[in-house]
Structures are given as C-alpha cells and as structure tokens.
C-alpha cells in the first residue's frame, strides 16, 4: 500500500483552502499552511507523508518563489511534486515556476474535478520517478541509468563515451563505525558533487547502482576522467578528513555500442576490481585481458568439483631445513593442480579464486586427508617421518567444525597429532581473536602444533603474537626479498627473530634462495629455513628420494629441538652467550669429528673449576685434560654409534667428583657439536 497520500495546501486565503479541503478530503489527507515558511516547517515534520504540494504564489511572509528556492535545496524532497495555483495566465511567472522545478499548474479559483485529476496525475508520475530515483541520493537508479545511457548513445552516435563506475573504498567501515546516517551523508555528498560536475559537461548521465557504487556516462577524454575522479576525491576528503576515503574507479571506453549497457557496466566493474587495494592508482581502464581473466576465473571455479573427484590436485612437499644441522626436518604440503588438458596450473592462479569463493575450505580438507594418507603409508612402511605441515585457510580457521574434522582425520588414519602441523595465516589472527584462541587451545589439547604463517606479510602485530599460543613463527619471505634493496628487511628480520626468542618461539624463514641468506639467518639465530636454496616443492616420490639421499650421506638427520642455541654461542655478545657465561655450573662445548675432539667454548665456571684452576701445576693441568678427553671420547663414540649415553661419574682429582652429562646440540655432515655439563656430587658419594 502506498503510504504517501497527504496533500499539503499552501495558501493564505482561508476560504479557498476550506473549499478545496472539502473537495479532496474524501480521497486524501490534508495538511495546510498559510505561507511558505509554515509550509517548510510542516514539510520537515511530514516528509514521509506528503504526496503533493499545492502552492499559491502570492503569500505573506514567504511567497511561492522563495518557498521553491528553499524547497529545492532539500534532496529528500526531490520526489514531491509541486502544483502551483495561479490566478491568471501569467506566462512570465509560469516560466519562472518551471525553472524552479514546479510540475504543473491549476487555475484559481479551483475547479475541484480538475484539481483532483491533476493531483492524481502528479502522484502517479512521482511514483514512477520514485522507481527511477534512488531514495537516499535522488540520483537515477540502475534501470533508469541504463535507459538514459542507451538514449544518450543513440542520440550521439558520432561521439565516444566512457562508462565510469566507482565505489568508495572501505565504505562498510564508515557504516559500521559511524552509523548508517553518517554513511548516507557521505553518499549524499558524492551525489551533490556529481550534480555539480554534471553542469560542467554537456552530456553527462549519472546514477547510483547500489550501496556505495556510482556510475557516470560521459564523453570520453582521459583528462576529463582524471578531473572527475580528482573532484570526487577532494570532495570526499572534505566530508571528513579522518576517514581518509578513496574511490576505486573502473572505466570502459565504449568502443562497441552494440553491447548491452549492462555489459558495458560489467566491463567497467572488471576494471574497477583491478585497482582495489592499490594505494596510488585509483583509475583503471578496461582491457580485453580482463575478460580473459574473468573467463579463466570462471573456468577455475567450474572445474573444481571434477578436479576434486578425479584427484587432479596433488600434494607437493617442500622440505624445511634445520639450520643447526642443515638437514631437513619435515616439510610443508603445497597443492599442485595437474589438469588433464591444461597441464600444471599454479596455486597463484587458483588459490586466490578459491579463497574469494570459499571453495578453498574444501580444497584444504582434501589436502589434509591426502597428507594423512601419506603419513599413514610411511608409518606402515616403517619409516619414521618428520612432521608435515598443512595450510589452514581463513574459512576453515573460522569453521566451527575444524577441531572435529582434524580429530576425525587423525583417528581415522591413526596418526599421532604431532606429525601433522597446522599453518594458520597471520591475517586470520586479526579477526576474531577470542574464537581463534579457543580453537587453538582445542587443537593443542589434541596434540597439534600450530604455526603462524606469513608473519610480517600483513598487519602483524607483535601484541597479538604475545597473546597467541602458537608453537612456531613462520616469517614471510618479503623480509628476505627486501634485504637486497636497502638492508631494512635485514634489521627487521633480526628483531623479529630476537623477539620470537623472547617468546620462546622457534622461527622458520621462508623463501631462502641464496647461501648469503642462509649465513645471515644462521647468524641471527633463526632455527629453520625453507626455500629454493635447499629444495623446491617436489612430488612425494621425489621427497622420498630426497630423504633417502640425506640419510645415506652418513648422518642421521634427526633434529634436536634445542640445537639452534649453538649459533648464538659463537656470537660472544649474544644473550645466550652471556647467559652461558653466567651459569653457575661448568659447561664446555666440543666439536667431534673422525674421533677427534676440539674444545670450542667453555664458560667461566668451567675455566676456574675444571681445567684452568690457577692453584694446580702444569702437569696436573695436562693430566686433567687427558683424563677428561678419554672419558669424553668414549662417550662421544657411543653417541655417534647411536647407543644410549647416560650421565657419567667422573673424579676430577682426589675426592672431587662430578656428574657429567653430554648432550648433542648440533650435527653437520660428519661433525657433531656436544655440550658437556659438570655437576659436583662429591658430598653425595
Ligand atoms: P605459502 O603458504 O606462504 O607457501 C610458500 C610459497 O612460497 C609456496 O608457493 C612455495 O612454493 C613458495 N616458495 C618456497 N620457497 C621459495 C623460494 O625460495 N622463493 C620463492 N620465491 N618462493 C618460494 P606456492 O606453492 O605457489 O603457494 C603459494 C601460496 O598458495 C602458499 O603460500 C599458500 O598460501 C597457498 N597454498 C599452497 N598450497 C596450499 C594448500 O594446500 N592449501 C591452502 N589453503 N593454501 C595453499
Ligand atoms: Ca604456508
Ligand atoms: Ca607462508
């Protein structure tokens, strides 16, 4: 039911007004005002009700012309028809009225039948316009805009036009933070600016498509489009400096006017999408490759079901390297798509598409299952696999079934949870922190280890890291790539790794491509690396070969979680090194290779208590060295053979006994690094 059916009569002649009211009040509600000023007040309070205004021109206080001038300043009155009552045929006033936006005229004294007819007419017409005009801004709606553009193109076949589509970046944010009213205010100011600009060009059709999306069709010249966008930008900044809003603008230069206007719009939209998220460029022009991209995207979406059914997606593995040993410690599973007709399709092409569409959730789960299957096979074959990590995309992180899904998988395949590590991308941590913390805690209870992936790629906040119970930090490759440019990446990387250490988080740096980068990472105490320098992502068969080759190189590449501190020990100014010196127990670090021992480092306590005691003679000193070495040689040999080597009791000199413990803290090819600690036990013997 159409609710606007009240007529506002604005006339200072009471008798005429009463007569009129008698005639129309059976069909319409009636409000009346005696001058323009009063009419504006009534209108403001009843804007939702008033369907038509019948306006006398000559009135005290504020006459009809003044009223119209004021009335026109309110966009929200755009759809309310005004019928002017004139006493005689005055062409001059009539023309003035039309210019002022008056719709129709009636002669005074009123002819009731005629007036009723004209009011109905005006209401019908305004209803039509309501559909053609957007309620918030008064601009053309989508359908009206399309129709007007069609007309414009038909009437001006000799000219080239452009269809411009723009929207306001982060408009949702304004709506959410400042409220719908404020959002409307922004939209209205855009509309007002468009109205202003429209007067500059001779052919300029514009409208609002939906939400924050506006469209313009104007004669094409690149500088005109720059002008338009600049003007809009400046105007938006004036609305509120704090929002820092920007428009993203897509342009289709209409060089094929046989296209539907909707298709022209689609092309402008495709172009606009390509400039979203960029900071500098806010205008993008449509080109043919965009439609190709869209087709490709459609293809990728259409094919996914078949690809999953036919298992076209494959698990590739990229080893992670323990930097203390240079041996691999597990791998990351990365998806590869082997399409029967198109060959290999890179994840860069399909992952973003699936992320946008939420399909990635299914693909993730496909990968998890295949990795579980693989781990099961390895376990059945009696191998001792290291953990494989899988990627968990945002949709799954917030999937309420996530914990259940993982639990079901490891139960079904009988896999220890430690063998499946989960990589959660950093950006997901910024959204619903309570929820993600709860999920992580449940995953931890099941025994899963969690890595924060792509750290540093987005809005990393160290604060978040402190609150999140992640087990590993995976540092984005961008820092390594920045390194060459200005050295800043290097500094940032150093502090990130150091901070991770404070939080007791081992870190993995991705994208390691050169030996220089490896050296640098070792130097700053990074624990793990992943990258082309060591190995590219490979098929499962290749990975099995890779592991076999590593094993046959003589060393058993089992990483010890604590090893990386060794790197810090060499750096005498590092915290670990200082700590090492301050420890109240004697410690020595040896290198062991081909049955040869070399003392690498000792702490002060070791020096004063065990070897370099100033009160002993040189011969006693040498004896102590010999006896310690023979004890250690035996212990080290045992360890290299893989035998168990528990704590040993060792008499330093008459009646002074120590319990000596040996721990492997690093392996590299045929070299082992051993940490030897001494604990005095004389009084317990
Ligand atoms: P990511 O998780 O950060 O994976 C690391 C990416 O870096 C991989 O790209 C890997 O091939 C590449 N990479 C490894 N070492 C180097 C190097 O030294 N230099 C350079 N330039 N790149 C290196 P890929 O396989 O193309 O995957 C790209 C992204 O796609 C991944 O980034 C991940 O976000 C996503 N992705 C891949 N597989 C899966 C999956 O199974 N599930 C989900 N959800 N996402 C996946
Ligand atoms: Ca990853
Ligand atoms: Ca990553």
Give the pLDDT band of residue 1 (cuts 50, 70, 90). very low
| Residue 346 Cα to ligand 1 middle (Å) | 10
Q: How big is the CA angle at 87 (ends 84 and 89), to the nearest 5 degrees?
A: 90
Q: Whose CA is nearest to atom 11 of ligand 1?
A: 537
Give the pLDDT band of residue 569 (cuts 50, 70, 90). low
Q: For residue 364, give the ligand nearest its CA.
A: 1
Of the candidate ranges 136-145, 420-429, 514-523, 663-672, the one whose mean pLDDT is the lowest: 663-672
Q: What is the pLDDT of residues 169-201, one digit of tens each?
A: 888 888 888 888 999 999 999 999 999 999 888
Answer whether 548's CB lies under 8 Å from 541's CB.
no
Q: Does any ligand 1 atom lie closer than 6 A to the CB of residue 646?
A: no
Average of per-residue pLDDT across 113-132: 82
Model's pTM, two decimal places? 0.60
Average of per-residue pLDDT across 312-337: 94
Report the atom number in ligand 1 closest to the C-alpha of 532.
Answer: 18
Evaluate if residue 559 carries a pLDDT over 50. no
> Collapsing DSSP states into helix, strand and coil, what is residue 336?
strand
Q: Does any ligand 1 atom lie closer than 6 A to the CB of residue 393?
A: yes
Q: Does any ligand 1 atom lie closer than 6 A to the CB of residue 510?
A: yes
Q: Does any ligand 1 atom lie closer than 6 A to the CB of residue 531?
A: yes
Say what percent of the chain tops pLDDT 90: 46
d(CA 627, CA 620): 11
Q: Which residues contact 519 (CB under 8 A, 6 or more apart)?
A: none
Give the pLDDT band of residue 277 (cuts 50, 70, 90). low
pLDDT at 555: 47
Average of per-residue pLDDT across 534-560: 80
CA dihedral sign, ordered 250, 254, 260, 263: negative
Answer whether 475's CB lies under 8 Å from 510's CB.
yes
Q: Does any ligand 1 atom lie closer than 6 A to the CB of residue 344?
A: no
Q: Does any ligand 1 atom lie closer than 6 A to the CB of residue 426?
A: no
pLDDT at 299: 93
pLDDT at 498: 83
Evaluate if residue 275 carries a pLDDT over 70. yes
d(CA 117, CA 114): 5
pLDDT at 58: 82
Report the atom number in ligand 1 closest to the C-alpha of 481.
Answer: 21
Give the pLDDT band of residue 429 (cuts 50, 70, 90). confident
Of the candidate ranges 60-64, 255-259, 460-464, the one whose mean pLDDT is the lowest: 460-464
Q: Does any ligand 1 atom lie closer than 6 A to the CB of residue 355?
A: no
Give the pLDDT band of residue 377 (cuts 50, 70, 90). very high
Residue among 313, 347, 514 to mutate when testing ligand 1 (max atoms within 8 A of CB): 347
Give the pLDDT band of residue 314 (cuts 50, 70, 90). very high
Q: Tell me whether residue 30 is exposed, middle or buried, using C-beta atoms within 10 angstroms of its C-beta: 0 to 12, 13 to 18, 19 or more.
A: middle
Question: Which of 27-36, 379-388, 548-557, 600-609 has maximum average pLDDT?
Answer: 379-388
pLDDT at 60: 84
Q: How many CB atoms lie within 10 A of CB 649?
A: 11
């Amino acid at each position: 039911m159409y609710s606007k059916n009240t007529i506002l009569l604005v006339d200072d002649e009471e008798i005429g007004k009463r007569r009129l009211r008698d005639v129309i009040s059976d069909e319409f509600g009636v409000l009346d005002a005696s001058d323009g000023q009063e009419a504006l007040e009534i209108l403001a309070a009843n804007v939702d009700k008033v369907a038509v205004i019948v306006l006398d021109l000559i009135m005290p206080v504020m006459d009809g012309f003044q009223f119209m001038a004021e009335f026109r300043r309110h966009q929200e009155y755009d759809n309310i028809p005004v019928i002017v009552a004139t006493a005689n045929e005055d062409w001059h006033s009539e023309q003035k009225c039309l210019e002022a936006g008056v719709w129709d005229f009636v002669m005074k004294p009123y002819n009731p039948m005629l007036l009723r007819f004209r009011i109905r007419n005006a209401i019908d017409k305004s209803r039509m316009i309501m559909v053609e005009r957007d309620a918030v801004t008064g601009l053309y709606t989508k359908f009206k805009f399309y129709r007007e553009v069609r007309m414009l193109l038909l009437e001006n076949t000799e000219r080239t036009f452009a269809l411009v589509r723009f929207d306001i970046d982060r408009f949702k944010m304004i709506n959410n933070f400042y409220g719908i009213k404020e959002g409307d205010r922004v939209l209205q100011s855009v509309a007002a600016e468009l109205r202003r600009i429209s007067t500059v060009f001779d052919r300029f059709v514009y409208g609002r498509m939906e939400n924050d999306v506006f469209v313009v069709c104007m004669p094409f010249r690149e500088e005109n489009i720059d002008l338009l966008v600049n003007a809009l930008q400046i105007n938006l900044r004036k609305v509120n400096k704090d929002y820092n809003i920007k428009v993203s603008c897509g342009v289709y230069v209409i060089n094929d006017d046989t296209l539907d206007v909707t298709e022209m719009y689609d092309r402008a939209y495709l172009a606009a999408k390509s400039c979203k998220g960029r900071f500098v460029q806010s205008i993008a022009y449509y080109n043919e490759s965009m439609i190709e991209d869209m087709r490709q995207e459609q293809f990728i979406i259409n094919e996914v079901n078949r690809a999953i059914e036919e298992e076209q997606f494959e698990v590739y593995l990229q080893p992670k390297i323990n930097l203390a040993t240079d041996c691999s410690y597990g791998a990351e599973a990365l998806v590869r798509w082997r399409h029967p007709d198109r060959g290999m399709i890179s994840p860069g092409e399909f992952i973003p598409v699936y992320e946008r569409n939420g399909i990635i959730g299914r693909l993730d789960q496909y990968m998890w299952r295949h990795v579980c299957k693989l781990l099961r096979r390895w376990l059945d074959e009696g191998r001792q696999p290291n953990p494989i990590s899988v990627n968990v995309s945002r949709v799954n992180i917030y999937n309420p079934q996530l914990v259940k899904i993982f639990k079901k998988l490891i139960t079904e395949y009988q896999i220890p949870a430690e063998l499946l590590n989960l990589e959660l991308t950093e950006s997901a941590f910024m959204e619903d922190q309570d929820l993600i913390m709860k999920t992580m805690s449940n995953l931890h209870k099941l025994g899963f280890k969690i890595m924060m992936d792509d750290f540093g790629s987005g809005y990393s906040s160290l604060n978040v890291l402190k609150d999140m119970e992640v087990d590993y930090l995976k540092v984005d490759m961008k820092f390594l790539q920045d390194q060459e440019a200005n050295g800043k990446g290097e500094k940032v990387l150093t502090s990130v790794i150091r901070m991770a250490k404070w939080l007791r988080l081992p870190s993995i740096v991705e994208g390691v491509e050169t030996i220089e980068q490896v050296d640098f990472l070792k130097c700053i105490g990074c624990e793990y690396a992943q990258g082309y320098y060591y190995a590219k992502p490979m098929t499962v068969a290749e990975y099995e070969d890779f592991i076999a080759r590593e094993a046959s190189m003589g060393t058993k590449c089992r990483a010890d979680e604590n090893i990386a501190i060794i790197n810090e020990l060499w750096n005498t100014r590092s915290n670990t090194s200082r700590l090492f010196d301050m420890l109240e127990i004697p410690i020595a670090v040896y290198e062991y290779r081909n049955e040869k021992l070399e003392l690498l480092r000792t702490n002060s306590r070791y020096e004063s208590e065990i070897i370099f005691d100033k009160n002993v003679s040189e011969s006693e000193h040498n004896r102590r060295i010999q006896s310690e070495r023979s004890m250690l040689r035996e212990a080290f040999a045992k360890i290299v053979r893989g035998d168990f080597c528990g704590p040993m009791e060792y008499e330093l000199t008459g009646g002074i006994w120590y319990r000596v413990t040996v721990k492997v803290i690093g392996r590299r090819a045929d070299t082992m690094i051993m940490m030897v600690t001494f604990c005095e036990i004389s009084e317990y013997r």
